[in-house]
């Protein structure tokens, strides 16, 4: 049988953590034959550490056969020790009256410290997924703070946007969501992301031809996917958690175990693909194999798509400029 791998999760006592940890421990992320050791990080405050203890008690009470160990931490330097996977979920939310610059600065502090800790103590092959918002920029900060780790090990979560787009297309076409292939989401995890079904197929047939409605794409599909997070807050009173946790599982599982040629969306550091400046943490269509992702290259970009890509890129560059002096 396989030896256990180490999975660090930050924000472990939060909403997404609660929807995520039990699925990791049951083998849904890394496979039903892969034992895991959970290394859980929360802020040092007593309330958070107490809540984390409660989550750990519940994890114990599941008696998961694959759960080979659970650790509670309040310091990233111990939480990330030798970790093979790191899911950075905890972040500073925007408080009342908080300016965008304050939000960026508070998160820059968190993700600088966590990037440095990963750099110092994590496995050299650690796969990092940043979920905490602003996810792309936080991933960029962590990457820049970890110069001894390969930049490609740092990724941001665009998978929830990808899955939301797939579900809207399934509803529109009346086809099964699992039959949709070659969907892409470009750019920032924010309402500016560009969900792109120009290349998508269902059972080999073109989704674009099937829908054949540019106005629906522009006026319904893109705003619905872009504002889905806000719609869920409005309906539920709290932000999406189970669907976010599910997307994190999908992202890590596909990265680790491969996609068998299928496209998925990941936020990854650009190496200039599609004219995106180097190091920008950008949502791209990728395929995964042997523990590595590969950007799908050579796709034609039409005028409308270029406009959308420019817009989400400009937003991302604005965020990155806003933290430059803090790195």
Q: Tell whether 232 is in a known binding site.
A: no
Helices (H) and strands (E) in the chain — how many of each? 12, 14
Our CB check for ligand NAX shows the closer of 42 and 315 to be 42
89 binds ligand NAX (CB under 6 A): yes
> Where are the extended beta strands (E) located within the chain?
5-10, 36-41, 67-73, 85-88, 127-130, 154-156, 180-181, 184-186, 194-196, 201-202, 205-206, 264-269, 281-289, 292-295
163 vs 173, beta carbon nearer ligand NAX: 163
The correct pick among 49, 78, 179, 239 for binding ligand NAX (CB under 6 A) is: 239
Site for ligand NAX contains 43 (CB under 6 A): yes
Q: How far is it, in rounded angstroms, from Cα 262 to Cα 318?
A: 32
**Contact region with ligand NAX (CB under 6 A), list: 26-34, 125-133, 217-225, 308-316:** 125-133
Stretch that binds ligand NAX, among 84-92, 200-208, 209-217, 281-289 (CB under 6 A): 84-92
Decide if residue 132 touches ligand NAX (CB under 6 A). yes
Is residue 90 involved in binding ligand NAX (CB under 6 A)?
yes
Closest CB 89 distance from ligand NAX, rounded Å: 5
- For the question of residue 251 being annotated catalytic, the response is no
110 annotated among ligand-binding-site residues: no
Q: List, in order, residues 6 or more apart from 232 with CB less than 8 Å away.
A: 239, 240, 243
- In this structure, what DSSP letter does residue 134 have? S
Name the residue nearer to ligand NAX (CB basis): 133 or 192.
133
User: Residue 141 to residues 53, 59, 111, 169: CA-CA distances in angstroms?
Assistant: 29, 31, 6, 33
Over the range 75-84, which residues count as b (16 or more CB within 10 Å of their CB) and which as e? ebeebbbebb
Per rule CB under 6 A, is residue 49 in the interface with ligand NAX? no
15 contributes a contact to ligand NAX by CB under 6 A: yes
- Least distance from ligand NAX to the Cβ atom of residue 141, Å: 12
Beta bridge partners of 6: 37
The neighbouring-strand residues paired with 86 are 8, 128
Q: Mapping DSSP to helix (H, G, I), strand (E, B) and coil, where does residue 86 land?
A: strand
Which residues are known to be catalytic?
189
Residues near ligand NAX (CB under 6 A) = 10-11, 13-17, 41-43, 48, 89-93, 110, 131-133, 135, 157, 160, 189, 239-241, 244
Q: Binding site for NAD(+): what residues are annotated? A: 11-17, 107, 114, 131-133
């Amino acid at each position: 049988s396989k030896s256990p791998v180490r999975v660090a999760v930050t924000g472990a006592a939060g909403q997404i953590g609660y929807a995520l940890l039990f699925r990791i421990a049951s083998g849904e992320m890394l496979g039903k034959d892969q034992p895991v050791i959970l290394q859980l990080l929360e802020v040092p405050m007593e309330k958070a550490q107490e809540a984390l203890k409660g989550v750990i008690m519940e994890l114990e009470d599941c008696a998961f056969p694959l759960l080979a160990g659970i650790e509670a931490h309040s310091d990233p330097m111990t939480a990330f020790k030798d970790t093979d996977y790191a899911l950075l979920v905890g972040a500073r939310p925007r408080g009342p009256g908080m300016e965008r610059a304050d939000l960026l600065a508070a998160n820059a502090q968190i993700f600088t410290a966590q990037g440095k800790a990963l750099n110092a103590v994590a496995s050299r092959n650690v796969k990092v997924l940043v979920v905490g918002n602003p996810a792309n920029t936080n991933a960029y900060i962590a990457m820049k703070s970890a110069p001894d780790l390969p930049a490609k090990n740092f990724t941001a979560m665009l998978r929830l946007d990808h899955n939301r787009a797939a579900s809207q297309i399934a509803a529109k076409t009346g086809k099964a969501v699992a039959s949709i292939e070659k969907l892409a989401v470009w750019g920032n995890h924010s309402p500016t992301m560009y969900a792109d079904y120009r290349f998508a197929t269902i059972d080999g047939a073109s989704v674009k031809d099937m829908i054949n409605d540019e106005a629906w794409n522009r006026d319904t599909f893109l705003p619905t996917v872009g504002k889905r997070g806000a719609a869920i807050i409005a309906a539920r009173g709290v932000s999406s958690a189970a669907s976010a946790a599910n997307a994190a599982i999908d992202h890590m599982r596909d990265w680790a175990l491969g996609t068998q040629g299928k496209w998925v969306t990941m936020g990854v550091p650009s190496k200039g693909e599609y004219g995106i400046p180097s190091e920008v943490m950008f949502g791209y269509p990728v395929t995964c194999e042997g523990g590595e992702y590969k950007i799908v290259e050579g796709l034609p970009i039409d005028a409308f798509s270029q406009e959308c890509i420019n817009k989400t890129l400009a937003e991302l560059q604005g965020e990155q400029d806003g933290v430059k002096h803090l790195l």
